[in-house]
Amino acid sequence: MRLTIKEEIETRLSEVIKETYPEKPIPISQVEPEKNPTYGDLSSNIAFTLSKLLKKSPGEIAERLAKNLSGGIIEKAEALKGFVNMWVSQGRLCCLLPEIEEKKDAFGRSNFGGGKRVLLEFVSANPTGPLHIGHGRGAVYGDVLGNILSASGFLVEREYYVNDTGNQIERLGESVKHRYLELLGEKGKFPEEGYSGEYIADIAKKIKEDYGEGAKDKDAIYFGKISLKILLSDIQKTLSDFSVRFDSFFYESSLYEKGEVEKLLSDLSSAAYKKDGALWLATSKLSDEKDRVLVREDGRPTYYVADLAYHRDKFDRGFSLAINLWGTDHHGYVERIKSGLRFLGYDPKRLDIILYQLVALKRGKELVSMSTRKGEFITLDDVLREVGKDAARFFLLMRKHDAHLEFDLELAKKESSENPVYYVQYLHARCSSILREAETRGVAFIPADKADLLLLQREEEHRLMAKIGLFGDEIKQAAKLYQPHRIPLYLMELAGIFHNYYHHHKVLSENKELSQARLVLINCVKIVAKNGLNLLGISAPEKM
């Protein structure tokens, strides 16, 4: 795959350093895209790092490098206060446009991942109630991370782990059964630690419709299983409304059915010990803070055992890397699972756990409660209905995963015209609009390799091309660091540069050749905007 402009410059810089100072081994050169246009398109602080090695001042090194850098891909290089500032040549920038036109949807993709198989597990919310905004964050984060990793050459499978066994299902069943019996006129005591949400009664109603009084003598497990099925399909509906895609749903119960849990226990038997009637694993000998129970006093294995079996299954299925996306409230579980994997002989580095901070849902200044047990409960469905998919996704994606996120419903919809999501979508709509207008005016769109792109000499055009040239680097970086939020930020910056250009220069003018060259540029910006929005799972409107 072709190198990006940034990568070419890095290569060039490394070469120049080698030529300029052949006597020393050089560290890898770092180049950063420059936000401040007076400092060029890209800059490097390499002179500082070389300073000690070469026993020369950064200023002197930067001067010499700058002098030798000019030429070819680098239009101009300047030394300033130890930094090396570089401007990309017009010729190289113009090569970008045919490349974008040719690659279209594939522009920005790379083979960074080298075909590595990755299992991305996310959401995995217990099917005991509807999803809320916190799950929504994990859902879009995972969905977009999956898109980014796929675009970066990883083979990604997205999976939802369904906890369909254990106490919670029993409790869910008890709660539903209680409501069901109520509907049949039987009053009873509400189960302790039961689920009291409105949706429980809805499920009970549905069961009554389907089974009449026939379910009266069934036990809580029976009710639990039916409820779980209903709730899971509701969750799947919500996720699909939210454009969150999964390849597979993995049921915890299948691990028991296939004997994987048993097998895991026997594999761990030599490392386990008995205490207080339970079977323990000495995870504290590794990275965990305390030992963990494998089998309870009453003989039932813990969730932990099934979870270890699940992770072993991931590796057995041929995935070299597992990525888990968990809410930060599960962080105490990280070392537990990693220690367990090590006991099983797996390198814990094959499991990356990304923790995301919880979401505070607000309506204006007021905090909206999100307790599953209480009555007042805003579901992810509610949020979707209220602010729309695009805005909701964008808001949830703008922040990095370890930042607390404040989601203000009022802001997301009331100020919708000044929403960042519309700012970015408008970038795409405006490009489309210009291309439409060109058609009505009869300005023929000619392919990039036929247009005289060297006419694109304006400073704003230079900045715009330099920015779209960075799209691929941005995706790669987002993949490498698991940071989807880079993409919305990039798109906002691109939109800013574009709108600025739009207001300073007419795309369509008397000058036909110039108009046609500019149309090529607009079309390329449109492609980048669309690819970016596609990665985010946000629509790219032709018109707004």
Q: How far is CA 316 from CA 42, 86, 103, 260, 349, in A?
A: 44, 49, 36, 12, 16
Q: Which of 333, 377, 394, 471 lies at the binding interface for RNA (CB under 7 A)?
A: 333
56 near RNA (CB under 7 A): no
Binding to RNA, residues 378-407 (CB under 7 A): 398-400, 402-406
415 near RNA (CB under 7 A): yes
Binding to RNA, residues 441-480 (CB under 7 A): none
Binding to RNA, residues 18-47 (CB under 7 A): 30-32, 34-36, 39-40, 43, 45
In this structure, the dihedral spanned by the alpha carbons of residues 481, 487, 490 and 491, taken in order and rounded to 10 degrees, is: 180
* Residue 428 and residue 169 in contact, taking contact as beta carbons nearer than 8 Å: no
302 near RNA (CB under 7 A): yes
* Burial bucket for residue 68 (CB in 10 Å: 0-12, 13-18, 19+): middle
Per-position x/- string for 155-174, each x denoting binding to RNA as judged by CB under 7 A, each - no binding: --------x-xxxx------
Of the listed pieces 144-152, 211-219, 232-240, 428-436, which binds RNA according to CB under 7 A? 428-436
Of the listed pieces 12-20, 74-82, 93-101, 216-224, which binds RNA according to CB under 7 A? 74-82
Binding to RNA, residues 210-269 (CB under 7 A): 252
The H-assigned helical ranges of 297-455 are 303-316, 334-343, 380-387, 389-397, 409-414, 420-440
Q: Measured from the CB atom, is 95 or 462 closer to RNA? A: 462
* Residue 379 and residue 131 in contact, taking contact as beta carbons nearer than 8 Å: yes
The H-assigned helical ranges of 162-251 are 167-183, 198-211, 220-241
* Residue 378 and residue 392 in contact, taking contact as beta carbons nearer than 8 Å: no
Rg (CA), the chain: 28
CB-based contacts of 445: which residues, under 8 Å, 6+ apart?
A: 435, 438, 439, 516, 519, 520, 523
Shortest separation between residue 401's beta carbon and RNA, angstroms: 8
Bridge-based pairing of strands 292-295 and 278-281 is antiparallel
Per-position x/- string for 478-517, each x denoting binding to RNA as judged by CB under 7 A, each - no binding: -----x-xx--x--x--xx--xx-xxxxxxx---------
Residue 110 is encoded by which pair of tokens? Answer: 């790379």
Q: Which of 201, 278, 282, 446 lies at the binding interface for RNA (CB under 7 A)?
A: 278
Binding to RNA, residues 178-197 (CB under 7 A): none
Shortest separation between residue 413's beta carbon and RNA, angstroms: 11
Shortest separation between residue 74's beta carbon and RNA, angstroms: 14
Shortest separation between residue 281's beta carbon and RNA, angstroms: 11
Alpha-carbon span 34 to 403, nearest angstrom: 25
Q: Which of 206, 330, 350, 413 lies at the binding interface for RNA (CB under 7 A)?
A: 330
* Residue 474 and residue 487 in contact, taking contact as beta carbons nearer than 8 Å: yes
Of 100, 110, 114, 120, the closest CA to residue 151 belongs to 110
Binding to RNA, residues 84-113 (CB under 7 A): 85
Q: Which of 276, 345, 349, 510 lies at the binding interface for RNA (CB under 7 A)?
A: 276
Alpha-carbon span 523 to 530, nearest angstrom: 10
Of 237, 238, 487, the closest CA to residue 383 belongs to 238
Shortest separation between residue 301's beta carbon and RNA, angstroms: 8
Q: Measured from the CB atom, is 158 or 399 closer to RNA? A: 399
The count of residues interacting with RNA (CB under 7 A) is 90
Q: Measured from the CB atom, is 51 or 90 closer to RNA? A: 51
Per-position x/- string for 339-378, each x denoting binding to RNA as judged by CB under 7 A, each - no binding: ----------------x-xx--------------------
